[in-house]
Chain A
Amino acid sequence: MSESPYEIVIGLEVHVQLATQTKLFCRCSTQYGAPPNTQTCPVCLAMPGSLPVMNRTAFQLGMKTACALNLQIPNFTKWDRKNYYYPDLPKGYQISQYDLPMSQDGFLLITDPKQQFEPRKVRIIRAHLEEDAGKSMHDEAAGKADSRIDLNRTGTPLLEIVSEPDMRSPLEAKAYLTELKLILEYLGVSDCNMQEGSLRVDANVNLHLQTPEGKVATPIVEIKNMNSFRAVERAIAYEAQRQYEIWLETKQKIGDVPKQTRGWDDQAQITRGQRHKEESSDYRYFPEPDLAPVTTTDEEIAAVKAQLGELPRQIRDRLEEQYKIPAYDADVIVNQGQTTVNYYETLAKLSGDGKLASNWVQQEVLRVLKERSLEIDAFPISTERLAELVKAVAGKEIDGTRAKDVFAEMLDSGKSASEVMKEMGIEKVDDSELENLCRELLEANPKVLADLKEGTHKAVGALIGQAKKKNPNIDPGTFRQMCIDMSAKM
């Protein structure tokens, strides 16, 4: 790590939209993209007299996430009202959880296979449920200053996951978010679609500096409105440098000024100060009288834990162990998601070569998916067919270069590996034929033979091209070794 005059201290607040069919307190759909205000009812419109009723599924998804993040789930949790005025908050309050959240005190382990940072245990303070607000659309076209409100989103279930300020670099923040997103996806508790707002990140950032007077912390800034992990990484990096420059200028320490809220401008690649709220943020929290508290038994919590399934970290370890692949390989595959892991595992088992299967998935399969913008479940070559090809490579029936040609043909034609190999005239060259070819070429090239005898093995390279011309099916590696061995006896 390069020497920096400061240490960046980062805490993240992540809002996750839970993958329920209906909203948190009514039965309206949570489907994204419907025409404005078509997914509303008296409850989510805050019509006078309407009352909330909790969505059990949302609570279950929250429990699942909490278990995966090693959070403690208390047997009793309640709802609170967070009161504030905003045009897209129709009740004038948000139903959230304040002093008794549904889960607290957990952690998430982050590691970097590239080893750019030390493995770190990021503590999680709490994860609590709350409802989303609506969306304001400001239409300032044509000289008008109309504001329209879409309440389709109102009441969508969110899980807010708050970390301790345990991260020390933008890279760590990104790793935390990546691992968190992966877990949420493996659990199926959220689609984590950032473009659609299913996963939103706020970052609390400040600096620790060593000064002659001792360690100093700069005022905390909360960066809002980040819609990609890259934005989070860049915003934090930008903000750290900005805070450092301000500190050099003002020497302002934490506590000297109130916590500031800034927004990330992705176009300009800078953070911008947001206007301070007119009133102090006194949310006048109090227990929500319209909802009964939720009680959870130890048995229910145990049942959720039992049904969690394998989490990404466990899968990585297992893949390394079971298929003898390096940590880096396991990381790449697991980070692609469960379906890719399934594809890989089937391929590894069918082909009998975990490492080769891993290479093929990482290099060829993922490349094609990326080029064609496909998901793995839409990949045109089945595991059975690809396994046939991987097996052929493992059995040296075909060399890597030609195998890639076969792969390309399989992709386009939809034919099996053996069909394509047959068409291309690819077959395993038997040992006696290879020996004959080797002897023939060595005899015809006395200079090469002499070099080989002297131990200059690279000389054989000149023969491989000629051999391939005579028989395209020869395996260059096997041929090379045979020439070296034979030259010694000639």
Chain B
Amino acid sequence: MSLIHASAAQLLTQLESGEITSVELTKACLAQIDAADKQVGAFLKVMRDSALEQAESVDARRKKGEKLGRLAGVPVAIKDLLCTQGETTTCASKMLENFVPPYDATVIAKLKAADAVLIGKTNMDEFAMGGSTENSALGVTRNPWDLKCVPGGSSGGAAACLAASMAPLSIGTDTGGSIRQPASFCGVVGLKPTYGVVSRFGLIAFASSLDQIGPMARTAEDAAILLEAIAGYDPHDSTSANVKTPAYSQSVKQPLKGLRLGVVKEHFGEGLDSEVEQATREAIHVYKSLGATVSDVSLPHSKYGIAVYYIIAPSEASSNLARFDGAHYGHRTDEAAMLEQLAQERAALEAAGDEAGLAKLDTSLVRMYRQSRAEGFGPEVKRRIMLGTYTLSAGYYDAYYLKALKVRRLIRQDYDAAFKNVDLVIGPTAPTPSFAAGTKTDDPLSMYLGDLYTVTANLAGIGGISIPCGFSKSGLPIGLQLQGPPLAEERLLQAAHMFQTATDWHERRPELS
């Protein structure tokens, strides 16, 4: 198998035995990026020089017999909303187009400590808002399986770079399905861990109580290796879980005896594509053939998931994004032009004797805020800021935000009840395979429905994984989702690995010209 298609686990073995060097591997990935990324557009920035430097240094240290980190020499792609010291971190927004963080996110620091090679920053929906990576202000990403189609989102670049063999591992983030849905669309593995398992420090927040960083890879085993490297309690994140990190990479290959799977009734209703349903049902059969017992479970409040999510996430986002005001960093409007414009407006109002107009005229500070934000944010971000500002405002708080919090609790209780009888729940990741670019951009609601099966895990704070389980007739990947109780990442990864020992969907690669 060529280097670029190999799994991280295989590559680590080859690197350790000296069969290959990190420089060779990194160069192979860079060559694939050169060859394919013009079409795919997975990367916003390729960190060519620093990646090669890092690879050389790992090779040199390995030669000297130094002890190296767990990911020594393996390239990892980073979703461009994890602060990376000295490298632009843009969130695919004009607002942060030139923002260079002075510090590393904890996950980045952990990857560096594991001697991973940071190969580049991947494209995404602006501030992680969206399900198709069409909301990026800085680039277009396409699905490597069909360049007319979207890679999913918001971690579209993170999924596409894996599918197109540009990197063996990548880091995504998932607020409502942003790891699992693109993993499903691109035919790769994506794990959203339990809230708190991976530190959020340095993750540019979209919705703080839902955001979680997770591993994306082509195999469950690789996802386990990557999760092991980035998980763990972080004193810089007070919501991080103070628990010992399991040895995911060790336990992933242990088959689960007597695995009890619960099929979520509510995931097989209206809106589910028949090909996706078919593939999911076949995947359930595979599990049965592997000895799992399957029963039905009900998550009665899951039907409110989208509604609750689109209240809570925009509410938090409206507050999290307030810091982008043009004052301290990020995009600021052209002040001279702005002041000139303001002076003209004032003069016109004065000439017209329009007292009311004058009283309403912005101060220069307010105009600076307004204009910087108007220019810096894209339409989807603005839409959610407006939505969140509305649902949090006095008079609406109780009806929307507070109500949503209550339903969020019920959703969690549904899961708690289900997990009394089953080890994991199983169902489709997304209601459909990928779709053609541009087909849903004018209909945000239909786009939001793509998160139907994934948002509830974020609302409940539990973990979920998407693994490839088939293809549509038109050749697009289909994802299978498993969700587990809090801190059941080991079980999720084991179950995913079990499936991958019995199937080969994850070994298929798109043909890129």
Q: Binary interface profile of A, 71-93, with partner B (CB < 8 Å = 1, else 0)?
A: 00000000001010101001111
Which of chain A's residues 42-99 have a Cβ closer than 8 Å to chain B?
Answer: 42, 45-54, 81, 83, 85, 87, 90-93
Pair A49/B202 contact, Cβ less than 8 Å: yes
Contact with B along A20-55 (1 / 0, CB 8 A): 000000000000000000000010011111111110
CB-based nearest A residue for B315:
A286
Note all chain A residues with C-beta closer than 8 A to B389. Answer: 284
**A51 and B201 in contact, given A87-B327, A289-B239 (Cβ under 8 angstroms):** yes
| Contact A282 B394, CB 8 Å, known A47-B101, A290-B239 | yes
Distance in angstroms between the alpha carbons of A224 and B99 in the assembled complex: 38
Chain B residues with CB under 8 A of A93: 319, 322
> Cα distance A289–B99 when bound, in Å?
25
B398 to chain A, nearest CB (A): 12
**Which one of B182-190, B204-212, B244-252 contacts A?**
B204-212
Binary flags per residue of A234-266, CB closer than 8 Å to B gives 1, else 0: 000000000000000000000000000000000
Report the bound CA distance from A48 to B202 in whole Å.
7
Chain A residue contacts of B502, Cβ below 8 A: none
Looking at the complex, which of B143-151, B230-238, B274-282, B491-499 is the stretch in contact with chain A? B230-238
A292 to B235, CA, bound (A): 12
Interface residues of A: mostly helix, strand, loop or mixed? loop
Within 8 A of B (CB), among A270-309: 278, 282, 284-286, 289-292
Q: Which of B101, B200, B324, B366 contacts A51 (CB 8 A)?
A: B200
Report if A149 contacts B (CB, 8 A). yes
Alpha-carbon distance A17/B11, docked complex (angstroms): 56
What is the minimal beta-carbon distance from B108 to any residue of chain A, in angstroms? 10
User: Max chain A CB contacts within 10 Å: which of B208, B323, B329?
Assistant: B323
Cα A282 to Cα B392 with chains together (Å): 9
Interface size on A (CB < 8 Å)? 30
Task: Give, as a whole number of angstroms, the nearest-CB distance from B353 to chain A.
Answer: 22
Given A85-B325, A282-B393, A289-B208, does the pair A49, B319 have CB atoms closer than 8 Å?
A: no
Are A52 and B208 neighbours in the complex by a CB distance under 8 Å? no
Contacts of B323 in A (CB 8 A): 46, 48, 90-92
Which residues of the other chain, A, contact B243 by a CB distance below 8 angstroms? none
* B9 contacts A by Cβ under 8 Å: no
Which residue from chain B places its CB closest to the CB of A81 in the assembled complex? B319
Interface residues of B in 95-119 (CB under 8 A from A): 96, 99, 101-103, 105
Please, which residues of chain B bring their CB within 8 A of the CB of A50?
103, 201-202
In the complex, residue of chain A having the shortest beta-carbon distance to the beta carbon of B401: A286
Main secondary structure of the interface of B (DSSP, over half): loop
User: A453 to chain B: closest CB distance in Å?
Assistant: 90
Write the B311-350 contact mask toward A (1 if CB under 8 angstroms, else 0).
0000110110111110111100000000000000000000
State whether B328 touches A286 (Cβ < 8 A).
no
A52 to B237, CA, bound (A): 7
The one of B83, B316, B393 that contacts A48, using a Cβ cutoff of 8 Å: B83
**Which of B89, B102, B202, B366 contacts A278 (CB under 8 A)?**
B366
A476 and B200 CA atoms in complex are apart in Å by 82
Q: A283: shortest Cβ distance to chain B, in Å?
A: 8
Residue from A53, A285, A291, A292 within 8 A of B236 (CB atoms): A53
Q: CA–CA, A87 to B89, complex, Å?
A: 23
Question: Which of chain B's residues has its CB closest to A54's CB?
Answer: B238
* Residue pair A49, B322 in contact (C-beta under 8 Å): no
Task: Report the minimum CB–CB distance from A289 to chain B (whole Å).
Answer: 4
- Residues from chain A with a CB closer than 8 A to the CB of B397 are 284-286
Contact A48 B204 (CB under 8 A): yes
**CB nearest neighbor in A for B366:** A278
Residues on B with beta carbons closer than 8 Å to the beta carbon of A282: 393-394
B83, A49: Cβ atoms closer than 8 Å = yes
- Please measure, in the bound complex, the distance between the C-alpha atom of A286 and the C-alpha atom of B322, giving whole angstroms: 14
Which of A49, A85, A278, A289 is the most central at the interface, judged by chain B CB atoms within 10 Å of its CB? A49
Within 8 A of B (CB), among A121-174: 147, 149
Q: Among B207, B237, B325, find the residue whose CB has the most chain A CB atoms closer than 10 A.
A: B325
B393:A49 contact, CB within 8 angstroms: no
Q: List B contacts of A45 (CB < 8 A).
A: 328
Return the chain A residue nearest B211 by Cβ: A289
CB of B401 within 8 A of CB of A42, answer: no
Contact B392 A49 (CB under 8 A): no
Given A47-B329, A93-B319, A286-B315, A52-B238 contact (CB < 8 Å): yes
> Do A46 and B205 form a contact, CB below 8 Å, given A87-B365, A282-B393, A286-B397?
no
Q: Could you tell me the distance in whole angstroms from the C-beta of B80 to the nearest C-beta in chain A?
A: 12
- Asked whether any CB of chain A lies closer than 8 Å to the CB of B29, the reply is no
Given the known A-B contacts A47-B102, A289-B208, are A83 and B236 also in contact in the complex, defined by CB atoms under 8 Å?
Answer: no
Q: Mark B184-224, 1 if CB is under 8 A from A, else 0.
A: 00000000000000001111110111000000000000000
CB neighbours (8 Å) of B208 from chain A are 289-290
- Does any Cβ of A come within 8 Å of B82's Cβ? yes
Q: Which residues of B contact A91 (CB under 8 A)?
A: 322-323
Beta-carbon nearest neighbor of A93 in chain B: B319
* A51 pairs with B237, CB closer than 8 A: yes
Residue on B nearest A147 in the bound complex, by CB: B365
Task: Report B395 CB to chain A, min CB distance, Å.
Answer: 8
The answer for the CA separation of A12 and B371 in the assembled complex, in Å, is 39
Q: Which has the most chain B C-beta neighbours within 10 Å: A47, A52, A87, A282?
A: A47
Q: Contacts of A42 on B, CB cut-off 8 Å?
A: 101-103
CB-CB contacts of B381-394 with A at 8 A, as 1s and 0s? 00000000100111
A234-B203 Cα distance, complex, nearest whole Å: 50
Q: Given A48-B324, A48-B329, A85-B369, output 6 extra A-B contacts at Cβ < 8 Å.
A: A46-B323, A48-B96, A48-B204, A49-B205, A289-B209, A290-B205
Kindly list the 8 A-B residue pairs having the minimum CB-CB distance in the complex, ordered from nearest.
A92-B322, A289-B209, A289-B208, A284-B392, A48-B204, A49-B202, A49-B83, A46-B323
16 contacts between A and B (CB under 8 A): A42-B102, A48-B91, A48-B96, A48-B204, A48-B205, A49-B204, A51-B236, A54-B238, A83-B318, A87-B365, A149-B327, A149-B328, A285-B397, A286-B315, A289-B239, A289-B316
Give the A-binding residues of B (Cβ under 8 A).
81-83, 89, 91, 96, 99, 101-103, 105, 200-205, 207-209, 235-239, 315-316, 318-319, 321-325, 327-330, 365-366, 369, 389, 392-394, 397, 401
